[in-house]
A and B are shown apart, each in its own frame.
Chain A
Amino acid sequence: VPPVGMLLFRMNRKKGDKGFESPRPTTHQVVCINNINFQRKSVVGYVELTIFPTVANLNRIKLNSKQCRIYRVRVNDLEAAFIYNDPTLEVCHHESKQRNLNYFSNAYAAAVSAVDPDAGNGELCIKVPSELWKHVDELKVLKVHINFSLDQPKGGLHFVVPNMEGSMAERGAHVFSCGYQNSTRFWFPCVDSYSELCTWKLEYTVDAAMVAVSNGDLVETVYTHDMRKKTFHYMLAIPTAASNISLAIGPFEILVDPYMHEVTHFCLPQLLPLLKHTTSYLHEVFEFYEEILTCRYPYSCFKTVFIDEAYVEVAAYASMSIFSTNLLHSAMIIDETPLTRRCLAQALAQQFFGCFISRMSWSDEWVLKGISGYIYGLWMKKTFGVNEYRHWIKQELDQIVAYELKTGGVLLHPIFGGGKEKDNPASHLHFSIKHPHTLSWEYYTMFQCKAHLVMRLIENRISMEFMLQVFNKLLSLASTASSQKFQSHMWSQMLVSTSGFLKSISNVSGKDIQPLIKQWVDQSGVVKFYGSFAFNRKRNVLELEIKQDYTSPGTQKYVGPLKVTVQELDGSFNHTLQIEENSLKHDIPCHSKSRRNKKKKIPLMNGEEVDMDLSAMDADSPLLWIRIDPDMSVLRKVEFEQSDFMWQYQLRYERDVVAQEEAILALEKFPTPASRLALTDILEQEQCFYRVRMLACFCLAKIANSMVSTWTGPPAMKSLFTRMFCCKTCPNIVKTNNFMNFQSYFLQKTMPVAMALLRDVHNLCPKEVLMFILDLIKYNDNRKNKFSDNYYRAELIDALANSVTPAVSVNNEVRTLDNLNPDVRLILEEITRFLNMEKLLPSYRHTITVSCLKAIRVLQKNGHVPSDPALFKSYAEYGHFVDVRIAALEAVVDYTKVDRSYEELQWLLTMVQNDPVPYIRHKILDMLTKNPPFTKNMESPLCNEALVDQLWKLMNSGTSHDWRLRCGAVDLYFTLFGLSRPSCLPLPELGLVLNLKEKKAVLNPTIIPESVANNQEPVNSTNNHGQSVGFQNTFSNSQEEEEIDMDTVHDSQAFIYHHLNMLERPSTPVNYLLIPFYQFLLGKEQSSGEVNMHPVSAAPLSVFSKESNSSKHSDHHHHHHHEHKKKKKKHKHKHKHKHKHDNKEKEKDPFAFSNSPASARSIRSPSLSD
C-alpha cells in the first residue's frame, strides 16, 4: 500500500541540473494487466498512480501514453476529464508540399518536446476534478486511476504468435515489452522518464500455462477462481523509473541458476538444454562486477528472459534483462560463445548503471552508458585477456573516429541554451540531438561507444582505483537512498548527473579533469594527427613533426600532452610531448648511438630482450620504430610515416597487439619480399595473438597481388596452411577437424578466405587456389570433432565467393547455363549442394544458408548467373530464421541498387511498413541507408515524386509507433535527398507567395534553399503543447463513449491544429469558437496553472467569442463545420472554455506550427526572381 496523506515535497535537486521540478511526482504506481489475448493481440488493464502535488494550483496532470485506448480516468475515485493528444503521430500536418528534411526534423523535435516528460509534458492531460482543488491546494496525495486497453500494438509490446495448431502455450506464443529509450508509454500510461522514480506493484493475469516475468520480487502467484488463469504479483520496492519497467509473458521453461538461487533464467519451450549451457557462466560475471564495484548487486533478484523476434539483442530493465533467443547455444558452438557472454556481461553492467542508477536528464545519458561500457570493458580485459581488450578498444576507437569524420561529430553532453535552434550544438546533423527519440540509431550506437572510451580516458587521468571508488560512491549513495521513504527526499541520489559525477571525481581523486571533459564531453569531434620524422645524425636527435587537421568536419584541435614511444637499439623510451598551438616540430634526443653491435640483445618495452636481425635498418640511425600515442589516450586518428623496415620491426618485435595491427595495415603499402617474410613469420608464430595473425592473412593476400609479377613459389599461405592443417603423408588432404585449439581454429577458418582473394596476372583467382578450396570442402570431415564445423564450412563458402571475378561478357549476352565458366560451374555445384543439405540438416543459426545466399549474389553481380531477386525474396519472407532473412534482404537491397529496380524498392518499403518483426523493419532501412539505390545529386530513374511522398509519409506518420524506425526513415530520406527539397520534385506552382499578413511578397517557402532553411525557427516550441485536441468527456461510462475511436480523433488533428494556429496567431483577427465543435477543444494551455477548463454537464451549446467575426475566416471555418458535426454528436457533454490570450507570449512565438516558415524570414532572403 502506498504511503498516503503526506505533505508536499519538493524534489531535492539543484536547479540547473534539470531546470524544472516535476509538478507531478509519482511515488508509487500500480500496473495491473488483467487480460492478455494472444489471438487478438490485445491487453486490458489499469494503472494507479499515487501523486504528490508540488504546486498548489496543480489542476492538470500530464502523463505519457501512446497507442493505449483510455476508457476512464478517476482521480481519488472521482471521474476526471482528460484529453489525449499525441503530436508525434503525425509530425507535419496539412497536406503541404513541404518536403525538406530540415523542416521535418525541426517539427519532429518540437513534437517530441511537446510530450517530453522531462519538461513536464505528456500526451495524456488529465483534469483534476474541481472537487479536489482544495485538496490539491493543501498538497495532499492524489490517486489517479486509469483504465486502458491496447489493441494490436505496433510498438512497445511485441506479440509473437506462431501460426500453428494447439493452444497458445503449446505454440510457444509469447509477448514482451521492447523499444528504444523511454518506450514504456507504449504499453501503459505513466510518466515515461528516466528521472522520475517511484515504487511499483505489478500484476499480470495470464493463462495458467504461461509465466509472466517482470521487475522486482515475485510476491505470490494466485489462481483465478476458475483455476484457468493465474495472477503474478510483483513488488518493486526500489524506486525505479517507468522507462525501466518491462514485461515478458510466455510458456517459458524455468531454470534456477545453480550457483545463485536468486537468479532465474527463462527460455522458450524445448530450449532448456541450451539455456543451461548458455547461462552456466553468468555467476562469474556477477562475481566480477560485485568485486570491482565492492558493492552487492542492488536488486534482490535477477531474471534473464530469452525471447524470439527480439527488438535488440540485449535490453536491460530493473532486475531483469530481455535477450534474443538467438544468443542461446550448445556446447558445440565456438563462435557464438564469446559473443553471447559479452551480451550477458553488458546486460549485467547496465543493471548497476542504467537501471538501478538512472539519469537526471537526457544530456547525462553519457555517464550511464560510459560507466556501464567501461566496467564491461574491465570484464572483457579480465575474461578474454589484455590483447583482446586492447584490440577491442582500438576497434571502437577506429569506429568512432570514422563515424565522427564522416558525419561531423558526436556530442556526449549537449547543453541547450534557451531552446533556440540557433544554439543547436549539432547543426551538422540532419536530426536533433535534443531528445533520444530523434537520434539516428547509428549515432546512438556511436554515442555509447564514445562514452565508454571517454570513461577510459578519465581512468587514464585519475587511475582505475579512484575510478572504482567513484562508482562505489555513486552506488552506495543510491542504495542508501533507495531504502528511504519517498518523503525523505533522497531518491534523487539515485539519479546521476554530469555535474554530480564530475564532482564525485574531483572529491575522490582531487584531480581537475575539467580540460578533459571540455575536450571530449562538452565538445564533439576527434583529433587527426599526421606524423613524420627525420633523424638528425649530428645532434643525435629525432626531429618529429606532428601536424593536425582541425578544419575538416568532425575534427577538433588538440592541445596538451601526447605520449610518443621510440624504440631504439638501446631500448624503448617514452617521451611526453606538449602539443601546443603553433609548434609542429619536436626534438627528441636519442639515447643510443647508431652502431652495429650485432651481438647485443635489444631490450623491449616490456623488459624482454630479443635478438634482431638488424641488417634491414638504416646504418646511420638507431631508430627501430616510433609510435605516437601508444596508449590510445586521445580520441584520434594517426597517420604516421616511417620506412617499411621500421613497420616490419614493429610487427615482429613490438609486443602490443595494437601496434602489430597498425604495422600490418601500414605494410599494405610496401609490397616487398621483406614485408612478405615479416607477415609469414607472424602467421606462423603461435605465441602471436590470433587476431593479429588473421589480419596478417588479408594483408599478405594484398601484398601478393601487388607483387604478382615477381611472386615466387606457391600461392601465398598455401604451403603454410598445408603444413599446419593438412596430413603429413598426403598434403592435399586436410586433417579431420579438431577445433580444440581455438587459435588454430580461427586461423584455419580465415586463411582460405584470404587466399581466395589472391589474383594472378590476368586478375583471376589462380586455379590452384580454387582447387585447393574445393578440396578443403571435399575432404572436410567433422565426425571426430567435439565442436560443430558450421562456421568453418560457412567460411569456406565465403572463400568460394571471394574467388569469383567478373565474367568476361561478350556484347552483354544473356547469362545461360551453356556459357557458364567451368570454374563457376564447380562453385555452383558446391553451393547448390550446401544449400540443399541445409534443408535436411540445418546448421546452427543457418550460417551456411547465409553464406550461400551471399555467394549467389556475388555470382549474380559478377555476371555469371542472371541477376534475379526472386530467390532472395523467398528467403526474406517471414518465417525464416532472422539471419537468413537479413542476408537475403541485403541481397535484394544490393539488387535494387545495381539494377535500379523500382519494383524491388517498393517491395522493400512495403516490408518496412508491414513486416511483423521490428528488427527486420529497422534493418531494411538501415541497409538501404548504407547501400542506397541512389544518393542526393545523383540522377536515377528511381528518384521521383511518388517515392518522395511515400518516404515522407513513412517518416511523418507511418512509423510513429517505433522511435528507432522513424529515425531510420529519416536517415534514409537524408541519404537519398539530402536536407533540402528533393531535386526530383517539380517546383511549386507559385514561386512567389503573398504574405497578406505582413503585406510582403516572398519566395515560396517550399523552395527555400538549404542555407536558409537551416535558419528556420523551430516550428513548434515547447510552450505550445496546449494545442490539445480530441477532448473526451468521461463522465459517463456509457456504451456510446467506448465507441469513440482514438484514430478518428487523431485524423482530425491536422484540421484542428490548423485552426488552433489561427487562433493563436496574434496579428490575425480571428473569431473564436463560433462553431460548436470548438467547444471540446482546449484553449491555450498555461503552465501557470490558471483554471480555464470547466466540465459543464449537459450545457447548451453556449457560444462565446472574443472578437467579432471577420468574414474571411468565418467562411473558412464553415468549410469544415459540416464534417465535424458528426463527431461532435458523440460528445454529449460539452465544455466551453475561455480562451485566454496572452499576447506577450504569442509575440515570442508567432509561427507556432504554421506551415509558413516564410513568414519567419526577412525580405532579404535570396532571389525573388521566381
Chain B
Amino acid sequence: MLQSYISEIGRSAKSYCEHTARTQPTLSDIVVTLVEMGFNVETLPAYAKRSQRMVITAPPVTNQPVTPKALTAGQNKPHPSHIPGHFPEFPDPHTYIKTPTYREPVSDYQVLREKAASQRRDVERALTRFMAKTGETQSLFKDDVSTFPLIAARPFTVPYLTALLPSELEMQQMEETDSSEQDDQTDTENLPLHMSTDDSGPEKENASVLQQNTSLSGSRNGEENMIDNPYLRPVKKPKIRRKK
C-alpha cells in the first residue's frame, strides 16, 4: 500500500508538472498532488519535526585495506560533491596516462584486397571443411577422403526454390548497392542488350505503384480504377439446387 501510495504521488506530480509544460516537478506540484489525494498538507511540518523520528545512518566503516605507500603515486582525484565520501577512491593518476603510438593504418589498396581475399578464402575453407567434417561427404579419390572433401549432394524436395531465389546474402547486397547507388561510370548508351538498367528504375516504380493500386482496388471494391480481372473476382457461393 505504501509503495502504491508513493508511486501514485510521483505519477500524479509528474502529470501536474507536465501539464504546466515543465519537466521537473516542483514543490507546488507535490502539494497540489497531496491535496488532490485528500492529504492534509498542514500536518506535514509537524510530522517531520516529531521527536521519535528515524534517521538512516551511513554504513559502518569497514577497515579498508591500506595500500602500501610505495605503490601510491601522486595524489588521487578528490570525490566530486555528488559522490558520497564513503565510496572508494579514484584510481591512481598514472592509470590514466596513455602513450599514443603512431603506425601507418593499412590503407594500401593492394594489401587490403589481398587481406580481404585471403580472409574470405580462409573463412570459406574453414566453413566448408567444418560442414564436410560434420556431415556426409563424397570423395574424388578412393584412397583419400580428407584432402578434398566434398559435401555430399542432397536432393531437395523443391529444387527450384534454392536455384531461383536469390540468397539472403545477395538480397542484402542488392539493398546495399541500391542505397549506395553504384554509379554507372561507364557508357550505358552502348549497352549491347536492351536490358534497361537505367530505365528499369522508374518503370519498376511505376509497376510497384500500379501493383499497389491493384491490391488496393482489389480490396476496396467499387473504386473507379478497379482492375477487372476475372482472377481477382470473389468466388461465388454455390447455387442451392432444388431437390427433385
Enumerate chain A interface residues (CB-CB to B < 8 A): 162-164, 171-172, 208, 211, 217-225, 227, 230, 254, 256, 258-259, 261-262, 264, 268, 270-271, 274, 276-277, 280-281, 301, 308, 325-326, 328-332, 334, 337-338, 383-385, 388, 686-687, 689-690, 727, 729-730, 733, 738, 740-744, 746, 778-779, 781-786, 788, 815-817, 828-829, 832-833, 835-837, 839-842, 844-846, 856, 859, 865-866, 868, 870-871, 874-875, 877-883
Contact = CB atoms under 8 A, between A and B. Distances in A.
A854 B157 CA distance: 24
Given A223-B238, A256-B229, A865-B140, A743 B167 contact: no
Contact of B235 (A222, A337, A816): A222
Nearest to B138: A871
Contact of A817 (B141, B165, B232): B141
A839 B151 contact: yes
A783 B112 CA distance: 14
10 contacts: A221-B235, A258-B206, A740-B185, A743-B192, A784-B182, A786-B197, A839-B151, A880-B156, A881-B159, A883-B163
A281 B227 CA distance: 19
Nearest to A853: B153
A325 B186 CA distance: 33
B110 interface: yes
B231 A815 contact: no
B166 A788 contact: yes
Contacts of B131: 836, 839-840
Interface of B: 109-110, 113-114, 116-118, 121, 124-125, 127-128, 131-132, 138, 140-144, 147-167, 169-170, 173-174, 177-178, 180, 182, 184-188, 190-197, 200, 203-204, 206-207, 210-211, 214, 227-233, 235-239
Given A277-B204, A337-B195, A384-B193, 8 more contacts: A740-B182, A741-B188, A786-B178, A839-B154, A871-B150, A874-B153, A878-B155, A883-B163
B237 to A, nearest CB: 6
B165 A271 contact: yes
B167 to A, nearest CB: 5
A817 B143 contact: yes
A332 B174 contact: yes
B147 A222 contact: no
Nearest to B121: A778
Contact of A274 (B114, B165, B190, B230): B165
Nearest to B226: A261
Contact of B194 (A208, A256, A383): A383
Nearest to A217: B230
A208 B235 CA distance: 10
Contact of B128 (A162, A222, A261, A837): A837
B179 to A, nearest CB: 11
A222 B173 contact: no
Given A162-B157, A221-B233, A280-B207, A742 B192 contact: yes
A394 B207 CA distance: 37
Contacts of A383: 194
A328 B164 CA distance: 7
Listed from nearest, the 3 A-B pairs whose CB atoms lie closest are A879-B155, A836-B128, A258-B210
B230 A783 contact: no
Contacts of B109: 727, 729-730
A832 B144 CA distance: 14
B144 A261 contact: no
B157 A268 contact: no
A222 B238 CA distance: 6
Contacts of A219: 230
Nearest to B213: A258
Contacts of B177: 784-786
Contact of B191 (A261, A330, A741, A832): A741
A836 B233 contact: no
A334 B195 contact: yes
Contacts of A832: 128, 148-150
A778 B174 CA distance: 22
Given A690-B192, A783-B173, A833 B160 contact: no
B150 A836 contact: yes
B163 A844 contact: yes
A865 B144 CA distance: 12
Of B163, B180, B185, chain A has the most CB atoms within 10 Å of the CB of B163
A169 to B, nearest CB: 13
B111 to A, nearest CB: 9
Contacts of A223: 235-238
Contact of B236 (A171, A222, A878, A880): A222
B193 A742 contact: yes
A274 B164 contact: yes
Nearest to B196: A281
A663 to B, nearest CB: 20
Contacts of A741: 186-188, 190-191
B151 A836 contact: yes
Contacts of A227: 238
B204 A280 contact: yes
Given A256-B227, A258-B206, A733 B110 contact: yes
Nearest to A741: B186
B207 A276 contact: yes
B163 to A, nearest CB: 4
Nearest to A849: B153
A818 to B, nearest CB: 9
A208 B203 CA distance: 35
Contact of A844 (B124, B152, B164, B210): B164
Contacts of B143: 816-817
Contact of A740 (B117, B164, B186): B186
Contacts of B138: 870-871, 874
Given A256-B214, A326-B164, A220 B236 contact: yes
Given A225-B238, A331-B200, A742-B193, A865 B141 contact: yes
A268 B161 CA distance: 10
B170 A788 contact: yes
Nearest to B149: A832
A731 to B, nearest CB: 10
A832 B240 CA distance: 65
A1082 B228 CA distance: 55
B192 A689 contact: yes
A230 B186 contact: no
B138 to A, nearest CB: 5
A742 B109 CA distance: 26
Contacts of A217: 230
B233 A332 contact: no
B140 A828 contact: yes
Contacts of B238: 222-225, 227
Contact of A874 (B148, B152, B192, B237): B152
Contacts of A786: 174, 177-178, 182, 197
A879 B157 CA distance: 6
A871 B238 CA distance: 55
Contacts of A779: 113, 117
Contacts of A866: 140-142
Contact of B147 (A264, A271, A817): A817
B148 A877 contact: no
B166 A326 contact: no
Contacts of B190: 686-687, 741, 743
A788 B188 CA distance: 18
A273 to B, nearest CB: 8
A859 B113 CA distance: 31
B214 A258 contact: yes
B195 A338 contact: yes
Contacts of B178: 786
A270 B235 contact: no
B234 to A, nearest CB: 8
B165 to A, nearest CB: 7
Contacts of B148: 828-829, 832
Nearest to A730: B110
Nearest to A846: B163
Nearest to B194: A383
B158 A162 contact: yes
Given A338-B195, A746-B192, A880-B153, A270 B214 contact: no
